[in-house]
Amino acid sequence: MFEDKLFLGGKEFKSRLITGSGKYSDDNIIKDVLEAAECEIITIALRRIDMDQPEKSFLQYIPENKILLPNTSGARNAEEAVRIARLARSAGCGNWIKIEVIKDQKYLLPDTVETLKATELLVQEGFSVFPYMNPDLSVAKRLVDAGAAAVMPLGAPIGYNRGLKTLELIEILVEEIEIPVIVDAGIGRPSHAAEAMEIGADAILLNTAIASSNNPVKMAIAFKYAVCAGRMAFLAGHGSVSKIARPSSPLTGFLDN
């Protein structure tokens, strides 16, 4: 279609859509969803893997050419997040890690202080760290200084599927932060994904919107095209906005003239 590569953690990607691997009614469908979405990165929760028999877990449905992005789901503080990250690397999941440090069990909002602490520690250990965060510019700048590979601001609380409730705050991060901005959580429709890409987000991460749909494979295709459309619109540059009507054709040359 066009050459527009995404660079993350020292790697180059064609797709700007990242998907999760949870909430599917049948793990057998994961491979079909990944093929339909044409995504190259997939997130996994380490606590879903039987470490004694990893080959019998949902990992068997993920093609070997995909980049795994383990997350620290379940971590309540930086210490637990670091421990999970180390376990993921020991299990052969690579050195990419998505930091999720969440104490709040009602809205699942990230703990800023513990997220920053975990990021600093894991960067020092050679991880490519992708912190899930509230869309706060000051926090994002601190994560950049800590060495994060990207920032992952939430569009809305996890699993909401209600769209980008923090759109204007994410737009500030896009304008001010030099590392990739990956919108994570809250996206429920392809139009939401397109909207995030239109303001300049570098990528989209979603899971529930696909996994909970009536046809996850078709929904994966829809999100693939939505992300591409939004990205192309951003690169093209949006048309001017006016408060009054402006004709697309000249108001001359009418039949009665």
Sign of CA dihedral 102, 50, 93, 91: positive
SS3 breakdown of the chain: % helix, strand, coil, rounded to 5?
Answer: 40, 15, 45
Counting Cβ atoms within 10 Å, is residue 120 exposed (0-12), middle (13-18) or buried (19+)?
A: middle
Which residue among the candidates 98, 117, 224, 243 is catalytic per the annotation? Answer: 98
Which residues are CB-neighbours of 20 under 8 A, at least 6 positions away?
Answer: 42, 43, 205, 206, 207, 208, 211
Strand partners, 45: 71
3-state class (DSSP) for residue 97? strand
Strand partners, 151: 181
CA distances to 96, 171, 172 from 186, in Å: 23, 16, 18
**What's the distance, CA 228 to chain centroid?**
14
Cα separation of the two ends of the chain? 46
Helices (H), 104-181: 112-124, 137-146, 167-176
Q: Check if 98 is active-site.
A: yes
Give the span between the Cα atoms of 83 and 117, in whole angstroms: 13
Positions marked catalytic: 98
